[in-house]
């Protein structure tokens, strides 16, 4: 797996238990552009620059990257978030020199950045992306989810090689699936696949079901409790609130002000709070008209 910016939301102190749990589960954490050596809270915690394994005698390398924006949109502490492309290029060249034939990149950089990565890091054969939660699909999906590109998205490089980019939306709604054929030199030859909609036709995993069961009643009760309704669409889809003013976040910040307006401690002040600010990333989906 690769680290994302949200792994740094609670700083190195919050990241440390996650890395410990990954290690106990035998899961490799690969994030090439992260250096944790100067962060004492992560001493002894493993974040690899790459990982190599063999498939039928062929060496396959895995590299990874987290968005450079992590420096400012999260709390990395003394963790060094390095430039993505130089870090991946250096590690890919190192793996190639070690006889690695196929390189897979796992990134949390976004679909707008991934094509530049694949184009500039010629060693990458497949890039599995995240961050933008982009829905890539071939043909017409059975859902109303908006398709934003081909699955995979093909990048044709100047040296004649190809690189493939895949993403599978968010909330585990789809399972990414791709089969790639390589030639004897480890270059992409052909491929097939599409995201698989995880619906009721698939049997539940009993182990996971038991883990989630204690929370089911709590979530169901909270979800059934009316907290209000809107006479208009409260819009927040497609990063609307990150680009300009939106009525969803206006409502949220107005609510903050309204809550504190009657809690002032001085007769000379209308409120202890003069303004309310909210992170635009807090807006995830719209609230339809007349929805409770």
pLDDT digits (tens, 9 = 90+) for 166-190: 998 988 999 999 999 999 999 999 9
**Domain locations in the chain as residue ranges:** 5-197, 206-282
The pLDDT value recorded for residue 265 is: 63
Higher pLDDT, 181 or 284: 181
What CATH number matches the domain at 5-197, 3.30.565.60, 1.10.3720.10, 3.60.21.10, 3.40.190.10? 3.60.21.10
**Cβ(59)–Cβ(38) below 8 Å:** no
Q: Which of 201, 88, 198, 223 is nearest to 145 (CA)?
A: 198
Q: Which of 179, 287, 188, 194 is nearest to 237 (CA)?
A: 287
pLDDT at position 292 over 60: no
Q: What per-residue string of b and e applies to 208-218 under the rule 16 or more CB within 10 Å gives b?
A: eeeeeeeeeee
Higher pLDDT, 180 or 240: 180
DSSP conformational letter for 159: T
The pLDDT value recorded for residue 266 is: 67
Taking all residues of the chain, what is their mean pLDDT, rounded to a whole number? 93
The pLDDT value recorded for residue 86 is: 98
pLDDT band at 80 (very low <50, low <70, confident <90, very high): very high
Mind listing the pLDDT tens digit for each residue in 244-261?
899 999 999 998 888 887
The pLDDT value recorded for residue 274 is: 81
DSSP conformational letter for 9: T
The pLDDT value recorded for residue 281 is: 80
Give mean pLDDT, residues 19-46. 97
The pLDDT value recorded for residue 237 is: 79
d(CA 182, CA 156): 15
Higher pLDDT, 279 or 210: 210
Give mean pLDDT, residues 98-111. 98
pLDDT band at 57 (very low <50, low <70, confident <90, very high): very high
pLDDT band at 196 (very low <50, low <70, confident <90, very high): very high
Given the structure tokens 């006889």, which residue do they identify? Answer: 99
Backbone angles phi, psi at 22, to 5 degrees: -65, -40
Q: Which 3 state secondary structure label does DSSP give 42?
A: helix
Give mean pLDDT, residues 230-255. 88
pLDDT band at 264 (very low <50, low <70, confident <90, very high): low
pLDDT band at 290 (very low <50, low <70, confident <90, very high): confident
pLDDT band at 191 (very low <50, low <70, confident <90, very high): very high
Give mean pLDDT, residues 102-113. 98
**Cβ(122)–Cβ(88) below 8 Å:** no
**Cβ(63)–Cβ(109) below 8 Å:** no
pLDDT at position 6 over 60: yes
Neighbours of 146 (CB within 10 A): 12
pLDDT at position 225 over 70: yes
């Amino acid at each position: 797996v690769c680290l994302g910016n949200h792994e740094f939301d609670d700083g190195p102190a919050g990241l440390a238990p996650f890395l410990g749990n990954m290690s106990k589960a035998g899961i490799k954490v690969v994030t090439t552009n992260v250096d944790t050596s100067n962060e004492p809270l992560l001493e002894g915690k493993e974040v690899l620059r790459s990982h190599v394994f063999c498939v039928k005698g062929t060496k396959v390398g895995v590299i990874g990257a987290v968005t450079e924006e992590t420096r400012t949109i999260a709390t990395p502490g003394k963790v060094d978030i390095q430039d993505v492309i130089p870090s991946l290029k250096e590690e890919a060249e190192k793996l190639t020199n070690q006889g690695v034939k196929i390189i897979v990149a796992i990134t949390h950089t976004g679909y707008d950045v991934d094509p530049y990565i694949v184009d500039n890091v010629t060693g990458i054969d497949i890039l599995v992306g995240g961050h933008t939660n982009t829905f890539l699909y071939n043909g017409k999906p059975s859902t109303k989810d908006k398709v934003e590109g081909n699955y995979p998205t093909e990048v044709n490089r100047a040296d004649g090689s190809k690189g493939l980019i895949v993403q599978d939306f968010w909330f585990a709604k789809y399972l990414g699936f791709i089969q790639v054929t390589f030639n004897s030199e480890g270059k992409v030859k052909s491929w097939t696949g599409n995201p698989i909609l995880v619906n009721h036709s698939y049997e539940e995993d009993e182990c996971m079901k038991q883990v989630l069961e204690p929370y089911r009643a709590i979530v169901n009760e909270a979800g059934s409790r009316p907290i209000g309704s809107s006479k208009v669409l409260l819009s927040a889809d497609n990063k609307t609130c990150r680009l300009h003013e939106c009525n969803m976040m206006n409502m949220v910040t107005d609510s903050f002000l309204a809550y504190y307006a009657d809690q002032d401690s001085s007769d000379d002040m209308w409120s202890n709070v003069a303004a309310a600010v909210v992170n635009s990333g807090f807006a995830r989906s719209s609230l339809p008209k007349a929805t409770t």
